[in-house]
Amino acid sequence: MTRGSVLEYAAAVRRRYLSAGKKEKGRILDEFMRVTGYHRKAAIRLLLGVTKRSRGRRGRPARYGAVVQLLRAIWEACDRLCSKRLHPFIPEMVPVLRQHGEQRIDGAAEAQLCQMSPSTIDRLLRPWRRVGGRKRFSTTKPGSLLKTSIPIRTFADWQENKPGFLEVDLVAHCGESAQGFYLNTLCAVDVASGWSECLPVWGKGQQRVCAAVHRARRRLPFPLLGVDSDNGSEFINHCFHTYCRQEKITFTRSRSYKKNDSCHVEQKNWNVVRRLVGYDRYTSKSAYQCLERIYDLVRLYMNFFQPTMKLRSKTRDGARVHKVYETAQTPYQRLLKLGVLSETRRIDMATTYHGLNPVLLLKQINSNLEQLWRLAERPATLGNRNYEATRRASVTVIFDAIRTRVDGLSKGKILEVRMVYQATGRI
């Protein structure tokens, strides 16, 4: 039968089908299917007069559509945390944003935000997530002096549940070359609480690095009990070793070429320093002062408004490793939970916390970063105006751009395009 004949047949049977009972409708459908060869559901739609399927959204109705923008605002205020860290921190952020007038969040919206699961948060924020990055550049030079007298501590030895044991490292702001003078950042992380301190260092001299550690010690809300560093000569020297001995600070070092021994500070090197400051070269006094302002703001933002997860247990079943993490908490929350703060210190930190606006802090950080990036060192042979257009990008940056442009091509085609970029001198 042709389509037209089927429609005529359906129109002739429709009135009898609509007025019939359940058993009679079944017999009419059976007869219609035998004559036309249609599926039963298609026959029902024709006899009911439904000629087109509904093009509406299938499945359950949207549940969180009204609070997606509020969720995005909280996510942006928390510097785009992952869902596992953001989920337990939403009940803390809602009153903070409401207190400072950043968002109008009523009780119903707050209840919806707090009952979201991490997977729902990921799904709702998927349109605004971006990927990208660049590989790190190391300037650590091994220091052989005093190595034998400083005990080794591995990643498995960190069992202290008491704040005060820090991992420290130096991050170089040297651009693409480690020659000459450049600024550095001292990054220090408390293992138990996750409290982090970042300070700019003028060069890489032993006394300046030791002075930076002393400044970080004075800013900590708890006593400094131990320091663990890598094997760089900026830490493995008589100056720093004597300072730790006189101040009764336990000084240990990691194994050579084993970055996982310093996993806590290595993670902060990327998440705090590299992700914010970047990889440009800085050598001026104005850049040093700008870094100081940035780290003063970052210290408050990271320790009071950036929850982190700590590994609780790890089990291995063959090649599969199962990890269990604690609920994400900020370093400030962990210190309160551990109960190590004195009453005066606890009141001071509570006053500081209630007076902070995370959205304003983030704006101030971004404003200072814009100033800092304008102070990056430019090659002497090029003017600042033409530098961005003519500088030679690194292989990593160019290859990431190639991979984005030719998304969907085969691996061989991508390598072919990369070879063309190399032949033309662009990398």
DSSP 145: T
Ranges 71-80, 241-250, 342-351, 399-408: which has the least confidence: 399-408
To which residue do tokens 């004597």 refer?
A: 242
What is the distance, to the nearest Å, from the Cα of residue 182 to the centroid of all Cα atoms in its chain? 27
Distances (CA, A) of 174 to 152, 180, 282, 283, 337: 29, 9, 7, 8, 40
Domain ranges within the chain, ordered by starting residue? 3-48, 71-128, 147-373, 392-423
CATH class of 147-373: alpha beta
State phi, psi for 253 to the nearest 5 degrees: -135, 160
Question: What six digits make up the tokens of 2?
Answer: 């042709």
Q: Is the torsion defined by CA of 255, 257, 258, 260 positive or negative?
A: positive
Distances (CA, A) of 124 to 106, 137, 147, 155, 169: 20, 35, 51, 36, 37
Task: Examine the pLDDT at 424 and tell me if it is beyond 60.
Answer: no
- Give the CB-side neighbour count of residue 371, counting CA atoms within 13 A: 15
Beta-bridge mates of residue 200: 185
78-116 pLDDT, tens digit each: 888 888 889 998 998 888 888 888 888 888 888 989 999
Quickly list DSSP for 205-273.
-HHHHHHHHHHHHHH-SS---EEEE-SBTTTSSHHHHHHHHHTT-EEEEPPTT-GGGGHHHHHHIIIII
Angle at 351 between CA 350 and CA 353, to 5 degrees: 65
How large a percentage of the chain has pLDDT more than 90?
A: 34
Q: What is the structure's pLDDT at 175?
A: 87
Measured CA to CA, the distance from residue 16 to residue 389 in angstroms comes to 77
Average pLDDT, the chain: 81
Residue pair 403/414 in contact by the 8 Å Cβ criterion? yes
- Helix crossing, 118-125 with 68-77: angle to 10°? 90
Quickly list DSSP for 300-362.
HHHHHH--B--EEEEEEETTEEEEEEPPPB-HHHHHHHHT-S-HHHHHHHHHHHHT--HHHHH
Ranges 24-33, 135-144, 183-192, 280-289: which has the least confidence: 135-144
Q: What is the structure's pLDDT at 217?
A: 93
Task: Examine the pLDDT at 342 and tell me if it is beyond 60.
Answer: yes
pLDDT band at 160 (very low <50, low <70, confident <90, very high): low
Question: Beta strand 250-253 with 226-229: parallel, antiparallel or unpaired?
Answer: parallel
262-297 pLDDT, tens digit each: 888 888 888 889 989 988 999 999 999 999 999 999
Question: What six digits make up the tokens of 71?
Answer: 């969720």
Assessment of whether the complete model's pTM goes beyond 0.85: no
